[in-house]
Structure 1
Amino acid sequence: MHDEEIVNLPASIDMKKENLFKLLRFSVFFYSLILPHTVNKNSSLQIYLSTAIWYLSIGSILIPILYKKLTYNSKALHKKAFSKMSISNKLSVRDVDVSGKRVLMRVDFNVPLDSKANITNNARIVAALPTINLVLKNGASGVVLMSHLGRPNGSPTEKYSLKPVAAELEKLLARKVLFLEDCVGPATEAACSDLKNGQVVLLENLRFHSEEEGSSKGSDGVKVKASPQSVQAFRESLSKLGDVYVNDAFGTAHRAHSSMVGVDLEIKAAGLLMEKELLYFSQALENPQHPYVAILGGAKVSDKILLINSLLDKVDCIIITGGMAFTFLKVIDNMQIGGSLFDKEGANIVEDLIKKAKSKNVEFILPVDFVIADSFSASAKNEIVTAKQGIPEGWLGLDIGPQSIKDAANAISKAKLVVWNGPCGVFEFDNFAKGTKGVMDALIAATKESHTTSIIGGGDTATAAAKWETEHEFSHVSTGGGASLELLEGKTLPGVAALSSKL
């Protein structure tokens, strides 16, 4: 139930109660006039009746006041309870005294490796450094780092070992990192039992155990569920490795994995990276600035139904772009889309989404022109067509056109808050990257010149920002594609829900 629904719930009841109170006051007034002329002249009876009428009169005034006071307090309690579930109300590592304590930290070291186990991009390791350095600076006796890498399907696999990460982390921290060959068990527990002088420990890949994800896959591809007993034992062993739990792995926050939700420690705080994610997404979800614009791309409408539905309750304008624009235009205007993407499943919901947008007074901006190609390749022949002209058979739309870029830029220039999830075209091909780059440039300009809060929702959009090295030009670029999508859809993220709330 939304906060507004909770607050407005008693409104109809209030009206009924008010009518009853008015009737009560009228009745008291009426009988105060009539009764003295109809009762026996017995003076004691007259006194009793007069006293009763006086109490009823006072009651008819006080009861509505008391009722409103109680209703107000009830609403306030509802609001308070709702705010405690807020993602902006989670305990931060900044708020925790870690002096002399072991900090068990969930990080995201799922970095790309080449065939020789060399790290090709260390950005995720670098992103964890501020939180690691903060707890060390604040006097932690040691830091035990745990992460997953790849998909080893619940069994030890050499190519997914975190050992190369330990070596890279040593360089970045300029201090010794102890690498342990398992993440649980007596030997690991013993090694982490008495950490001193800010010792840093990196555990082996959590996903070498099926109990991390709750299941594993055999060589035949069949999923085998881990027993509840073994999952519990795994979680208990992890819980022995620290005194304070810190989660800095937002990219995995939508997974109810053991290291995300199963550590049984009293204090469970968000790391600096997680804190930043929650700070910006709370701005988009809980108390957004207006005008609020959402830019939504990607291939399928069906993949974004929950997202669009959720955002329609919050935004002032939605810019539909990318492959799913063809499904919208085909349904709404019967546009000829040639060989472009068409989502049959998503087509069934398009009209409902448009109706909801109109009922909520949300502006819906669709592309008016496209860059089309005669094949799906970087070197394909390309042309610009309008939506009214349509796309001929044998051709497909791979990007939005110049007028569509201008329309999007115009909406962005007026916004105080912009959330972007999904590119405008096949930005990996230079001939079809102008739409994504043009919208990106408009958002960068709004961020700099108008102080617009700009949030890039991870995934392909973050990849596009990395391509043009513009990540630092926005207010925030999310590190979690799936996690940010689910958060914007209005879902509760298990890894966030498991964190302690501020008092």
Structure 2
Amino acid sequence: MGVLKPHGRYSRGHGSFVVSDLPQLDLSLLAGRRVLVRADLNVPLDGDVITDITRIDRFLPTVDALRRAGAIVIIITHLGRPGGKTNPTLSTLPIANALREKLGSAVLHAKDCVGQRVEKLVGDLANGDVLVLENVRFHQGETENSAAFALRLSVLGDYYVNDAFSCAHRAHASTHAITNYLPSFAGPSLIAEIEALEKALEKPAKPVAALVGGAKISTKIPVLLNLIPRIDYLIIGGGMANTFLAAKGRSMGKSLYEEEAIDAALDVMVLAQELDCKLVLPEDLVVAKEFKSNASNRTVDTKNIGDDEMALDLGSISQHKIVSVLEKCKTLLWNGPLGAFEIEPFDGATSAVARAAAYLTKQGELVTIAGGGDTVAALNNAGVTADFTYVSTAGGAFLEWLEGKKLPGIAALYSTEQMKQEA
């Protein structure tokens, strides 16, 4: 019996590859074995204080299971964008300290992630020990997907586990090239992320709504085009909605919108109509003359925006319209806020709709999948993150998955498994 433990079958019919039988480690065979785990512990810092430990909390079950299995756990992560140079303010030491506090046991920290000193430190570790390597992006070879750098990392372990879905869209040495040198497996957090997204996109309970917001439509056109054939309702909010409204001939005053993306918005509207996907656009907007906290504002019909006004949130009519759509649906996929949620009172629509979605989820009437950095922050602001079915901490990887793109970090694991089957 080997260390491989098949998980199951996942199809990505709309992507450029198939995730099938992603390999997992058999925990019963790991005592005394060195397991290199790629995590995404890219947490926000204020000095050396971690201000949001969500990613650490999500990773804890993985490291705890490996530790209890008697594995020697060696954690690879990046922190910020040091540009291939050592930057003490982006050290992973605070992460090691946080893990130590959470696990209630010793967690060591290495001052580098490769080299003889690190190899010596790893060689001295005992079963169940946990070591956090220094920021992998302190080395330029990481972002270059350098084979030589990946080989230097690989000598630290017997097995490699990718538990960082949020980094799976990067072809970096610690997510991609390293799989050429070690038996490689998918971690439980990565599997859970794929399961949640598959449930929303490939095997959803219908009807399905996608709520897509944020500032720019230009960055999300591929997402919209990929979603429309799979969903029943497409709800547009945020600055994106302004571009759609401009495409419909509305005067948007000083509102943020992309004139160069109007043709793309028209294409989206045509495709939605052709495929019987109901497009839900704002009917009223909260507008102000300046973008600042508690600015004087008013709610107007989308036809009545003043030349000196900017749209900063959706009005109550639009909010009620969205909630009525959600009440008809069984699945909601959410990416992007509905307004300038970071500034009161323009967080109103995002918070109201988020609370309605959370209520429907708790009632067992709606499966809610949300992702993207701003989305997570908006749900945290509304206090409903824990009530959603699944909230992804991934940003770019979440969007690229929605686009149906091949994710290099997952493709590498799939290729590894295919090679095993063909051997």
- How far residue 96 of structure 1 moved from its aligned partner, in angstroms, is 7.7
Return the letter of the residue paired with 1:173.
Answer: L
Give the alignment of 1:139-178 within 5 angstroms: 139-140=70-71, 142-178=72-108
In structure 2, the residue matched to 1:359 is: 274
In 2, Cα distance between the equivalents of 1:96 and 1:421?
39
Q: Which amino acid aligns with 1:130?
A: P
Give the aligned CA root-mean-square deviation in angstroms. Answer: 2.2
In the other structure, the counterpart of 2:342 is 428
Equivalent in 19, 27, 49 of residue 118 of structure 1: 49
1:255 aligns with 2:170: yes
Higher relative contact order (CA 8 A, sep 6+): 2
Instruction: Please state how far the C-alpha of 1:267 moved relative to its aligned partner.
Output: 3.0
> Do the aligned partners of residues 175 and 404 (structure 1) sit closer, same or farther apart at CA in structure 2, a change above 3 Å counting?
same
| 1:433 maps to amino acid | D
Q: Which residue of 1 is the match for residue 322 of structure 2? A: 408
The one-character-per-residue Cα deviations of 1:129-154 (angstroms, maximum 9, x if unpaired) are: 100011122232x0001111111111
CA deviation vs aligned residue, 1:380-414 (integer Å, no higher than 9, x gap):
111010123x2001111100011111111011111
Partner of 1:349: 264
TM-fit CA distance, 1:237:
1.1
Q: Distance in 1 between matches of 2:372 and 2:206?
A: 22
Q: Residue in 2 aligned with 1:75?
A: none
Within a 5 Å distance, the mapping from 1:75-154 to structure 2 comes to 85-87=17-19, 89-93=21-25, 97-115=29-47, 117-140=48-71, 142-154=72-84
Aligned match of 2:351? 437
Contact map agreement 2:154 2:182 (CA 8 A) in 1: no
Q: Which residue identity lines up with residue 476 of structure 1 in the other structure?
A: Y
Write 1 or 2 for the structure with the bigger share of helix: 1
Aligned to 1:288: 204
Q: Distance in 2 between matches of 1:121 and 1:106?
A: 19
Mapped partners of 2:87, 2:151: distance in 1: 24
Structure 2 distance, partners of 1:92, 1:403, is 48
Q: Give the match's secondary structure for 1:295.
A: strand
> 1:209 pairs with 125, 139, 163, which one?
139
**Aligned position for 2:185:** 269
CA distance in 2 between counterparts of 1:179 and 1:166 reads 6
**Aligned partners of 2:53, 2:118: CA distance in 1, in Å?**
26
Structure 1 residues 489 and 97, CA, compared in 2 at 3 Å: closer, same or farther? farther
Between 1:122-131 and 1:299-308, the stretch displaced more is: 122-131
Report the Cα offset of residue 93 of structure 1: 4.4
Q: Which runs of 4+ in 1 moved over 6 A?
A: 79-84
Letter in 1 for 2:362: K
Does the 8 Å CA contact 1:417/1:453 hold for their aligned counterparts? yes
**Aligned position for 2:383:** 469
CA distance in structure 1 between the partners assigned to 2:28 and 2:330 by the alignment: 33
Q: Which residue of 2 aligns with 1:369?
A: 284
What's the % identity of the aligned pairs? 39
- Contact map agreement 1:301 1:347 (CA 8 A) in 2: no
Question: Aligned partners of 1:81 and 1:381: how far apart in 2?
Answer: 49
Amino acid paired to 2:393 = T
Partners of 2:16 and 2:406 within 8 A in 1 = no
CA contact (8 A) 1:88 1:278 kept: no
Amino acid corresponding to residue 102 of structure 1 in structure 2: R
Task: Tell me, yes or no, if structure 1 residue 491 matches structure 2 residue 410.
Answer: no
How far has the Cα of 1:84 moved from its partner? 11
Give the deviation of 1:353 after TM superposition: 1.1
Q: Which has the larger radius of gyration?
A: 1
Alignment check: 8 A CA contact 1:107 1:128 kept: yes
Provide the residue aligned with 1:451 in structure 2. 365
In structure 2, C-alpha distance between the alignment counterparts of 1:427 and 1:88, rounded to whole Å: 39
Distance 1:96 1:369, change over 3 A: farther
Contact 1:88 1:282 in 2 (8 A): no
| 1:394 counterpart letter in structure 2 | D
Corresponding residue for 1:25?
none
Q: 2:235 aligns to what?
A: 319
Q: Is the 8 A contact 1:92 1:275 kept in 2?
A: no
Tell me the matched-pair count: 406
Indicate how the Cα distance of structure 1 residues 425 and 84 shifts in structure 2: closer, same or farther if over 3 A, else same. Answer: closer
CA shift for structure 1 position 121: 2.5
TM-score (norm 1): 0.77
In the alignment, the residues of structure 2 paired with residue 235 and residue 309 of structure 1 have an alpha-carbon distance, to the nearest angstrom, of: 36
Kept in 2, the 8 Å contact 1:88–1:279? The answer is no
Confirm or deny: 8 A CA contact 1:243 1:265 kept in the other structure: no
State the partner residue of 1:185.
115
Instruction: Note the residue ranges of structure 1 that are not aligned, 5 or more in a row.
Output: 1-78, 215-227
